[in-house]
Amino acid sequence: MWEAYCQVRSICSQLRGNDITDSALSTDSSMDESSETLSAKDVPTGSLHASLLELRRLTQNLLDGNESTVTIIASSFIDEEVLEEQVRKLSEELQKLRELYEQEQEKTHNSQEEVLQLHNQ
């Protein structure tokens, strides 16, 4: 029980981003050698409960942070899909304009040839 309590405190400390464990955890760790002889009643129920609640809160904060990250990424993918669709439509329009331009060029060329032929007659 004591070891589990120390591990919960250690995980909470890591989730808070503390590189150095808090003083209470250091005190707890210093008792690790004698922890084998400690029983469940040696860990105050309130302390274990409070540590587990803190672990739950920190874990939820982590999950909430990941949800916003996922939302941002999903939004980026949606924006990317919208942009890809716009690029596809613009490419299609450009292709149609090229075809029209080529047709007009051909008409102009044919008209010029007709004028030359008429001129040469």
Give me the residue spans of the domains in the chain: 2-120
Q: Is the pLDDT of residue 109 over 90?
A: yes
Higher-confidence residue of 96 and 57: namely 96
Amino acid at position 71, single letter: T
Alpha carbons within 13 angstroms on the beta-carbon side of residue 107 total 6
CA–CA gap between residue 18 and residue 76 (Å, rounded): 32
Spatial contact of 47 and 25, defined as CB atoms under 8 Å apart: no
Please tell me the total number of residues recorded for the chain in this structure: 121
pLDDT in tens, 25-80: 444 444 444 444 555 556 677 788 888 888 888 888 877 777 777 777 777 777 77
pTM above threshold 0.85: no
